[in-house]
Structure 1
Amino acid sequence: MELANRVKTITPSSTLAITAKANELKSKGHDVIGLGAGEPDFNTPEPIMEAAIQAMQAGFTKYTPTGGIPQLIEAIQKKMERDHQLTYSKEEIIVTMGAKHALYALFQVLLNKGDEVLIPAPYWVSYPEQVKLAEGVPVFIHTKEEYNFKVHPEDLEKAITNKTKAIIINSPSNPTGMMYSEEELEKLGEIALKHNILIVSDEIYEKLIYSEEEHVSIASISPELKKQTVVINGVSKTYAMTGWRIGYATGEKQIIKAMNNVSSHSTSNPVSIAQHASVAALSIDESEIRKMRDIFAERLDVFYTLISEIPGITCEKPKGAFYLFPNVIEAVRNNGFDTVDEWVTAILEDEKVAMVPGTGFGAPDNVRLSYCISMDDLTEAAKRIKRFVETH
């Protein structure tokens, strides 16, 4: 049976692939340290799990409205008002099966064949694939490490054509951990408004920030930018709820209504129990979030220092998320390899450390290292990588 053309160009997620390889080695008894997973290694906070238990016991195990239960919609309204001073009506919010599904549904309703979406590189691996699944064309704006992987306004202006429909902004970023300031977002927003380009603002890491800077949602800068922006978020990263699969989007009514229609014929509704748990998450005491963030901050300081000391590896210190994204090309060449992918595979085989090559993120000279594991494992991983680099 011939497959549809739309799936023939889709590439598997490199993050999931490396995690699967690491798990395979672990299952054979190898002591593998995985730096690939993009999820907190903490359990979901107790009050959130308790809310899920209470929901099950109360019989909230049936279908819900496609776009989310009223209690969760209201909790999202309060959250957006509290964190960003943004007011959204109920018709301007949709709850989805994770933030990834929110992005998927958005591109399905937004793009016609040949429409272009601007994607700053490095980028999260699923952005271009989701655009292609909607028969759109991903157009990459390559950023530079010396500018902290940020898009310059002039580069954005140059990339725009008469087919440009949207631009994705991910701050804090996966994989780089960089953040845009309010001034930088304002400049990019002015160009988007000038050319009538929709801004897709992925803010899933907004609470995981380790500098004095504060996260700014581009939608909060002006009423005009709010109207031009769809904010994508979810509970996965902030509340250690990756497996609960609850995301959401806020934006113009017509867009959200269309996303609801797509969801009604694909997922029916987000998981009822997970929605009730997410109500508790969005109203939880922020001290619960700070505990996790403080541990990540400590790990970042130690791991960043250890990785930066390895010969041939350079790295900008990230300000958010939970990844390092070092440039390793000098170490790769010094070790006699042609590509980062070959080098990563060799380290996994020889030292049993799993890293994600930057190829899937549009940065073939880099690797993504997640510090969502214990300090002991991070220290040991850095030791093994350094040993490999210095002995090959």
Structure 2
Amino acid sequence: MRKKRMYRVAGLLLALCLLLGGQALAAPAGAVVWGYSEGLAQCELNGKWGFVDTQKKVVIPLQYDSVVSFSLGVAAVNLDGKLGVIRQDGTYLIQPEYGTLLPLDCGLYVVQKGSRWGVASILPFSDGQGGTTNLLYDLVYDSATITEQGGTRVLTLTKDGVATKIPVFELPKILEEKGVPSARFSLTRGKLPTFRDVSPKDWFAVWVDIAYNVGLTSGVGGNRYGPSQTLTVAEVLKLAATMESRYKNDSFHTSSSTGPYWYSGAVNYCLASGIIHSGTFDSGDYTRPATRREIAQIFAATSLAKEMSDLNSLTRVKASIPDVTSHTPGASSIYSLYAKGVLGGMDSKLTFKPNGTVTRAEAAAIVSRMVRAEQRLTLWGDYDASVLVG
């Protein structure tokens, strides 16, 4: 009961910080703000740590014994001597209940509780008994180590003198077999871009990091990402084709594009997959800016989007978006992506602006939520990762 009360208090503190003053409270007098990473900075006062935004507003309460900087949208924290993992809104992805927490690839951590060791995932999956679990390898091992063997990182789990060795590069396949969400878009620890036009203080830095890390976006040349550049129809179709191909585990994303233009292969793949249809773009001008409505329609038509669970009430979504009605072209696609936690609107009113365009920074946020389930948005109420398990 004490743990449940502790988690509830932490959640209430976060909610209070977000509600008071419209967004968050200013960092207390005397608090020390450290370096920024992915838009947030560590903040410390009297030995308690949390995170502030670029206006030095507290977005994650100063309640932790220690924290590490955010990387790929997650950070490890120490609460009352126990370690866990949070995302950027303070939600726990791994509850703070472990004595040791060592990062692996793929959103996995080697964990220790008492004398027992195992491996935990930031995303839950079916336990095969009607429930969910975060433990990829149960807490039954005497030890767990990560070593380099012949140029390959190896996870070694030992129980009763018997060692089980798992090459780290095999973890994505193991996660797929277990049905862990986002397994085909696994995170690679340490693989981060260094674009000169993306600052650690930028709101979109986290999304550029994730989209780059999972191999969906790259730069525009000259070590630049081009965050303010407008996304074209061709670029949207290339993103959709790549996500579809990787989700379905076919060969498009590993093959060279054929056709007179760099985007010809993506257009043909989207046509063949039913993501778009002949005549969808009557002018055939794929290099023009895509509208927000078109982007929603394209992404919502992918198998990945169709098979996502809703995190938000579809009925409430339909009643809440102020500039989309049932008569708006593409309304069902727009509503769907809000319900699935991919879209959150342009402001606190959830405004969509269907005829507007999307920047490359905004696109990074959208595709990051498409492929990484732990980053999807809950528009009302608490984040419940178990909903993501189909």
Higher relative contact order (CA 8 A, sep 6+): 1
TM-score by length of 1: 0.26
Taking structure 2 as the reference length, the TM-score comes to: 0.26
Q: 1 or 2, which has the higher strand percentage?
A: 2
Which structure dedicates a bigger proportion of its chain to helix? 1
